[in-house]
Amino acid sequence: GQNIDQPTEMTATEGAIVQINCTYQTSGFNGLFWYQQHAGEAPTFLSYNVLDGLEEKGRFSSFLSRSKGYSYLLLKELQMKDSASYLCVRFDSNYQLIWGAGTKLIIKP
Amino acid sequence: IAGITQAPTSQILAAGRRMTLRCTQDMRHNAMYWYRQDLGLGLRLIHYSNTAGTTGKGEVPDGYSVSRANTDDFPLTLASAVPSQTSVYFCASSPGLADTDTQYFGPGTRLTVL
Protein backbone atom coordinates (compact mmCIF):
# COMPACT_ATOMS: atom_id res chain seq x y z
CA GLY A 1 0.00 0.00 0.00
CA GLN A 2 1.15 3.51 -0.69
CA ASN A 3 3.25 5.05 2.06
CA ILE A 4 2.51 2.32 4.57
CA ASP A 5 5.28 -0.02 5.61
CA GLN A 6 4.84 -3.21 7.59
CA PRO A 7 6.78 -6.48 7.57
CA THR A 8 5.71 -8.98 4.94
CA GLU A 9 5.75 -11.99 7.23
CA MET A 10 6.38 -12.88 10.87
CA THR A 11 6.53 -16.16 12.76
CA ALA A 12 5.67 -16.68 16.43
CA THR A 13 4.98 -19.50 18.84
CA GLU A 14 1.63 -20.44 20.32
CA GLY A 15 1.20 -18.81 23.74
CA ALA A 16 3.81 -16.12 23.07
CA ILE A 17 3.52 -12.40 22.37
CA VAL A 18 4.13 -10.74 19.00
CA GLN A 19 4.32 -7.09 17.96
CA ILE A 20 3.56 -6.08 14.38
CA ASN A 21 4.91 -2.66 13.48
CA CYS A 22 3.59 -0.20 10.95
CA THR A 23 4.96 3.11 9.74
CA TYR A 24 2.97 5.50 7.60
CA GLN A 25 3.05 8.87 5.92
CA THR A 26 1.96 11.50 8.44
CA SER A 27 0.63 14.18 6.06
CA GLY A 28 -3.15 14.12 5.82
CA PHE A 29 -3.37 11.56 8.60
CA ASN A 30 -6.63 11.24 10.50
CA GLY A 31 -6.50 7.84 12.14
CA LEU A 32 -5.10 4.31 12.01
CA PHE A 33 -6.99 1.05 11.72
CA TRP A 34 -5.87 -2.53 12.10
CA TYR A 35 -7.80 -5.27 10.32
CA GLN A 36 -7.37 -9.03 10.44
CA GLN A 37 -7.73 -11.16 7.32
CA HIS A 38 -7.69 -14.94 7.35
CA ALA A 39 -6.63 -16.63 4.14
CA GLY A 40 -9.44 -16.64 1.59
CA GLU A 41 -11.68 -14.46 3.73
CA ALA A 42 -12.64 -10.81 4.00
CA PRO A 43 -10.88 -8.35 6.32
CA THR A 44 -12.47 -7.81 9.73
CA PHE A 45 -12.02 -4.82 12.03
CA LEU A 46 -9.67 -5.11 15.00
CA SER A 47 -8.91 -1.63 16.29
CA TYR A 48 -8.87 2.08 15.60
CA ASN A 49 -6.49 4.69 17.04
CA VAL A 50 -6.76 8.42 16.54
CA LEU A 51 -4.96 9.69 19.68
CA ASP A 52 -1.48 8.82 20.86
CA GLY A 53 -1.27 5.91 23.21
CA LEU A 54 -2.27 2.32 23.75
CA GLU A 55 -5.75 0.91 23.20
CA GLU A 56 -6.28 -2.47 24.81
CA LYS A 57 -8.97 -4.89 23.73
CA GLY A 58 -8.63 -8.32 25.27
CA ARG A 59 -5.59 -10.15 23.90
CA PHE A 60 -5.05 -7.47 21.27
CA SER A 61 -3.66 -3.97 21.84
CA SER A 62 -2.86 -1.21 19.37
CA PHE A 63 -0.49 1.71 19.86
CA LEU A 64 -0.19 4.98 17.98
CA SER A 65 2.39 7.75 17.85
CA ARG A 66 1.11 10.47 15.52
CA SER A 67 4.31 12.51 15.60
CA LYS A 68 6.43 9.52 14.60
CA GLY A 69 4.01 8.07 12.06
CA TYR A 70 4.19 4.76 13.88
CA SER A 71 1.75 2.17 15.12
CA TYR A 72 1.97 -1.37 16.36
CA LEU A 73 -0.43 -4.20 17.01
CA LEU A 74 0.38 -6.37 20.01
CA LEU A 75 -1.04 -9.86 20.22
CA LYS A 76 -0.75 -11.72 23.53
CA GLU A 77 -1.28 -15.38 24.42
CA LEU A 78 -1.13 -16.33 20.77
CA GLN A 79 -3.50 -18.99 19.55
CA MET A 80 -3.34 -21.01 16.34
CA LYS A 81 -6.44 -19.19 15.11
CA ASP A 82 -4.45 -15.94 15.16
CA SER A 83 -2.61 -17.14 12.05
CA ALA A 84 -3.74 -14.53 9.54
CA SER A 85 -2.66 -11.38 7.77
CA TYR A 86 -2.80 -8.15 9.75
CA LEU A 87 -3.50 -5.03 7.74
CA CYS A 88 -2.38 -1.58 8.80
CA VAL A 89 -4.74 1.02 7.35
CA ARG A 90 -4.42 4.80 7.36
CA PHE A 91 -7.53 6.98 7.32
CA ASP A 92 -6.65 10.10 5.42
CA SER A 93 -8.05 13.60 5.20
CA ASN A 94 -9.97 12.69 2.03
CA TYR A 95 -12.06 10.26 4.08
CA GLN A 96 -10.48 7.29 2.35
CA LEU A 97 -8.66 4.28 3.72
CA ILE A 98 -5.12 3.61 2.51
CA TRP A 99 -4.30 -0.04 3.02
CA GLY A 100 -0.94 -1.58 3.74
CA ALA A 101 -0.06 -4.86 2.02
CA GLY A 102 -0.39 -6.70 5.32
CA THR A 103 1.80 -8.80 7.57
CA LYS A 104 1.28 -12.54 7.33
CA LEU A 105 1.56 -13.97 10.85
CA ILE A 106 2.42 -17.65 11.11
CA ILE A 107 1.82 -19.30 14.49
CA LYS A 108 3.74 -22.45 15.27
CA PRO A 109 2.83 -24.92 18.02
CA ILE B 1 -29.63 -11.59 4.20
CA ALA B 2 -27.36 -10.76 7.09
CA GLY B 3 -24.70 -8.11 6.59
CA ILE B 4 -23.18 -7.76 3.16
CA THR B 5 -23.27 -10.29 0.34
CA GLN B 6 -21.52 -10.57 -3.01
CA ALA B 7 -22.17 -12.60 -6.12
CA PRO B 8 -20.75 -14.55 -7.78
CA THR B 9 -18.27 -16.17 -5.41
CA SER B 10 -15.91 -16.76 -8.30
CA GLN B 11 -15.93 -16.34 -12.06
CA ILE B 12 -13.73 -17.16 -15.01
CA LEU B 13 -14.25 -14.69 -17.81
CA ALA B 14 -12.96 -14.35 -21.35
CA ALA B 15 -11.18 -11.11 -22.16
CA GLY B 16 -13.46 -8.58 -23.81
CA ARG B 17 -16.59 -9.79 -22.07
CA ARG B 18 -18.79 -7.59 -19.93
CA MET B 19 -19.25 -8.60 -16.29
CA THR B 20 -21.20 -7.21 -13.34
CA LEU B 21 -20.28 -8.07 -9.79
CA ARG B 22 -23.18 -7.73 -7.39
CA CYS B 23 -23.09 -6.38 -3.85
CA THR B 24 -26.00 -6.03 -1.43
CA GLN B 25 -26.11 -4.91 2.18
CA ASP B 26 -29.00 -4.95 4.63
CA MET B 27 -27.49 -2.73 7.32
CA ARG B 28 -28.86 0.52 5.84
CA HIS B 29 -25.33 1.86 5.58
CA ASN B 30 -24.91 5.09 3.65
CA ALA B 31 -21.43 4.46 2.30
CA MET B 32 -20.35 1.57 0.07
CA TYR B 33 -17.02 0.70 -1.53
CA TRP B 34 -15.43 -1.58 -4.07
CA TYR B 35 -11.84 -2.74 -3.58
CA ARG B 36 -9.53 -5.07 -5.43
CA GLN B 37 -6.89 -7.11 -3.64
CA ASP B 38 -3.83 -8.39 -5.46
CA LEU B 39 -1.00 -10.46 -4.05
CA GLY B 40 1.63 -8.32 -2.35
CA LEU B 41 -0.45 -5.18 -2.53
CA GLY B 42 -2.83 -3.54 -0.12
CA LEU B 43 -6.52 -3.26 -0.88
CA ARG B 44 -7.02 -0.60 -3.53
CA LEU B 45 -10.21 1.42 -3.77
CA ILE B 46 -11.91 1.29 -7.17
CA HIS B 47 -15.09 3.30 -6.61
CA TYR B 48 -17.15 4.40 -3.66
CA SER B 49 -20.54 5.88 -2.89
CA ASN B 50 -21.28 8.22 0.00
CA THR B 51 -25.03 7.78 -0.30
CA ALA B 52 -27.64 6.51 -2.73
CA GLY B 53 -27.48 8.42 -6.00
CA THR B 54 -23.84 9.49 -5.70
CA THR B 55 -20.60 7.75 -6.66
CA GLY B 56 -16.94 8.68 -6.69
CA LYS B 57 -13.66 7.41 -8.13
CA GLY B 58 -11.08 5.74 -5.98
CA GLU B 59 -7.43 4.97 -6.61
CA VAL B 60 -7.89 2.58 -9.57
CA PRO B 61 -11.19 3.38 -11.34
CA ASP B 62 -10.19 2.81 -14.99
CA GLY B 63 -12.08 0.00 -16.69
CA TYR B 64 -14.76 -0.11 -13.99
CA SER B 65 -18.10 1.60 -13.45
CA VAL B 66 -20.59 1.60 -10.60
CA SER B 67 -24.11 2.74 -9.87
CA ARG B 68 -26.02 3.35 -6.64
CA ALA B 69 -29.71 3.39 -7.45
CA ASN B 70 -30.71 2.59 -3.87
CA THR B 71 -29.17 2.21 -0.41
CA ASP B 72 -28.75 -1.55 -0.51
CA ASP B 73 -27.15 -2.32 -3.88
CA PHE B 74 -23.82 -1.28 -5.35
CA PRO B 75 -22.96 -3.25 -8.51
CA LEU B 76 -19.53 -3.05 -10.15
CA THR B 77 -19.33 -3.43 -13.93
CA LEU B 78 -16.35 -4.32 -16.07
CA ALA B 79 -17.36 -3.12 -19.53
CA SER B 80 -14.70 -5.08 -21.41
CA ALA B 81 -12.62 -7.29 -19.16
CA VAL B 82 -8.83 -7.50 -19.51
CA PRO B 83 -6.42 -9.99 -17.90
CA SER B 84 -5.01 -7.30 -15.57
CA GLN B 85 -8.42 -7.19 -13.92
CA THR B 86 -7.85 -10.69 -12.56
CA SER B 87 -8.13 -10.14 -8.82
CA VAL B 88 -10.20 -10.66 -5.71
CA TYR B 89 -12.89 -8.03 -5.44
CA PHE B 90 -14.31 -6.97 -2.09
CA CYS B 91 -17.38 -4.88 -1.53
CA ALA B 92 -17.66 -3.03 1.78
CA SER B 93 -20.05 -0.71 3.54
CA SER B 94 -19.95 1.67 6.49
CA PRO B 95 -22.53 3.80 8.27
CA GLY B 96 -20.94 6.96 6.89
CA LEU B 97 -17.58 8.51 6.14
CA ALA B 98 -16.56 9.42 9.67
CA ASP B 99 -13.21 8.12 10.82
CA THR B 100 -14.93 6.03 13.46
CA ASP B 101 -17.14 4.27 10.94
CA THR B 102 -15.82 0.73 10.60
CA GLN B 103 -16.05 -0.82 7.17
CA TYR B 104 -17.77 -4.19 6.91
CA PHE B 105 -16.71 -6.45 4.08
CA GLY B 106 -18.47 -8.94 1.91
CA PRO B 107 -16.91 -12.38 1.34
CA GLY B 108 -15.28 -11.36 -1.94
CA THR B 109 -15.48 -12.37 -5.59
CA ARG B 110 -12.52 -14.12 -7.16
CA LEU B 111 -12.37 -13.08 -10.83
CA THR B 112 -10.08 -14.58 -13.43
CA VAL B 113 -9.89 -12.97 -16.86
CA LEU B 114 -8.31 -15.12 -19.54
**Residues B44, A99 contacting (CB under 8 angstroms):** yes
User: Which range is least confidently modeled, A28-42, B6-20, B71-85?
Assistant: A28-42
Chain A positions contacting chain B at CB under 8 Å are 1-2, 4, 30-31, 33, 41-45, 48, 50, 87, 89, 91, 95-102
The percent of residues in chain B predicted with pLDDT above 70, rounded, is: 96
pLDDT in tens, B23-65: 999 999 999 999 999 988 889 999 999 999 999 999 999 999 9
Q: Which is more confidently placed, B110 or B99?
A: B110
Chain A residues within an 8 Å CB radius of B42? 1-2, 4, 87, 89, 98-102
pLDDT of residue B99: 66
Measured CA to CA, the distance from residue A11 to residue A51 in angstroms comes to: 29
Tell if the CB–CB gap between A1 and B97 is shorter than 8 Å.
no
| Nearest neighbour of A102 by CB, restricted to B42, B100, B107 | B42
Strands B31-37 and B10-13: unpaired
By C-alpha distance, the chain B residue nearest A38 is: B107
Q: Considering all CA atoms of chain A, what is the largest pairwise distance in Å, rounded to the nearest integer?
A: 43
Q: Give the count of Cβ contacts less than 8 A between chain A and B.
A: 50
pLDDT tens for each residue of chain A, 109 residues long: 468 999 999 999 999 999 999 999 888 888 999 999 999 999 999 999 999 999 999 999 999 999 999 999 999 999 999 999 999 999 887 777 889 999 999 999 9
Measured CA to CA, the distance from residue A43 to residue A24 in angstroms comes to: 20
Measured CA to CA, the distance from residue A19 to residue B41 in angstroms comes to: 21
Burial bucket for residue B88 (CB in 10 Å: 0-12, 13-18, 19+): middle
Measured CA to CA, the distance from residue B113 to residue B17 in angstroms comes to: 9
**Residues A90, A74 contacting (CB under 8 angstroms):** no
pLDDT of residue A69: 95
Q: Which is more confidently placed, B1 or B112?
A: B112
Q: Give yes or no for B41 touching A (CB within 8 A).
A: yes
pLDDT of residue A56: 93
Q: Give yes or no for B107 touching A (CB within 8 A).
A: yes
By C-alpha distance, the chain B residue nearest A47 is: B102
